[in-house]
Chain A
Amino acid sequence: MELLHSVLARLQDAKVLLDDALKKRKTDFTPARPDGIATGPAFVESPGTSVEMMLNVDTRIALLAYLERTARMTGPQDGSSPVVEGPREINLVQRAILAGLGILFFVSLLTFFLRRPARLG
Chain B
Amino acid sequence: MTLLAGVSVLLFIVWLGLFRSTIFVCLAFLLFTFAWRTISSLYIDLSGPVFSSQFQMFLGPGVMTVFQSIAYFLTLLPFLWVFNSRALHEWARSAPTPGLPATQSQLTLSDVTFYASILFLILLFGALIQGGVIPLFAKIERWTFNEQANFLHRLVIERGDMLCFWWGTMFVAERLRRQRYDYRFVSLLAVLIFYMFLVGGRFSPFYRSCAFFVIPFSAVLLVQARDIGSASLFSLMPRIADRRIVLAGVGGIALTAAMIAFALYWNLTRVRGYEGQAALDTFIERVLVQPSEIGWASYQRVLVNGDWDARHAFDFLFERPIVAGRNTTPQFLMSETIGEPRTTEHVTGGFQFAGGFPEIFFELFGPDFGWIFLLGAGWLTALLSALMIRSIVAERYLTAALSFYVLYGIYVMYIGGMLNFVATPTYWVKIAALFAAIIMEERAQRSGRPILPWVLTDRPLRFRRSAV
Contact = CB atoms under 8 A, between A and B. Distances in A.
B147 interface: yes
B325 A106 contact: no
B335 A114 contact: no
Contact of A55 (B144, B435, B438, B448): B144
5 contacts: A62-B147, A75-B324, A82-B322, A109-B435, A120-B446
Nearest to B339: A83
A84 B339 CA distance: 11
Interface in A70-90: 70-71, 74-76, 82-85, 87-88, 90
Interface in B443-459: 445-448
Interface in A36-64: 46-49, 52, 55-56, 59-60, 62-64
Interface residues of B, number: 62
User: At the interface, is chain B mostly helix, strand, loop or mixed?
Assistant: helix
Nearest to B272: A48
Contacts of A120: 442, 445-446
Nearest to B82: A114
B272 A46 contact: yes
B365 A63 contact: no
Given A52-B271, A114-B387, A117-B90, 14 more contacts: A48-B270, A49-B272, A52-B141, A56-B148, A60-B147, A82-B320, A82-B322, A83-B344, A103-B376, A103-B380, A110-B384, A119-B93, A120-B445, A121-B448
A71 B344 CA distance: 12
A99 interface: yes
B323 A116 contact: no
Q: Which 4 A-B pairs have the closest CB atoms?
A: A48-B273, A118-B94, A87-B315, A74-B324
B445 A3 contact: no
Given A75-B324, A83-B316, A87-B315, A114 B147 contact: no
B311 A76 contact: no
Nearest to A66: B325
Interface in B411-445: 431, 435, 438, 442, 445
A99 B310 CA distance: 14
A114 B383 contact: yes
Given A96-B369, A111-B383, A74 B445 contact: no
B386 interface: yes
B207 interface: no
B383 A59 contact: no
A46 B90 CA distance: 59
B140 A55 contact: yes
Interface string B365-393: 10001001100110110011011001001
Contacts of A52: 140-141, 144, 271
A67 interface: yes
A71 B328 CA distance: 13
B314 interface: yes
Contact of B147 (A56, A71, A85, A106): A56
Given A96-B369, A113-B387, A107 B379 contact: yes
A62 B309 CA distance: 36
Interface centre among B270, B319, B348, B387 (most CB of A within 10 A): B348
A7 interface: yes
A63 B147 contact: yes
A51 B445 CA distance: 58
A71 B319 contact: no
B147 A59 contact: yes
A60 B89 CA distance: 54
B61 interface: no
Contact of A70 (B93, B319, B323): B323
B350 A63 contact: yes
Contact of A107 (B310, B345, B380, B431): B380
A32 B453 CA distance: 64
A119 B445 contact: yes
Contact of B446 (A63, A64, A74, A121): A121
Interface in B135-162: 139-141, 144, 147-148
Contacts of B147: 56, 59-60, 62-63
A83 B322 contact: yes
A92 B315 CA distance: 10
B196 interface: no
Contact of B91 (A3, A4, A118): A118
A84 to B, nearest CB: 7
Given A75-B324, A83-B335, A118 B314 contact: no
B163 interface: no
Interface string B254-291: 00000000000000001111100000000000000000
A119 B394 contact: yes
A110 B119 CA distance: 37
Contacts of A23: none
A3 B373 contact: no
A26 interface: no
B312 A87 contact: yes
A49 B369 CA distance: 43
A25 interface: no
A95 interface: yes
B205 interface: no
B307 interface: no
Nearest to A50: B273
Interface string B156-193: 00000000000000000000000000000000000000
Given A4-B348, A96-B369, A100-B373, A46 B273 contact: yes
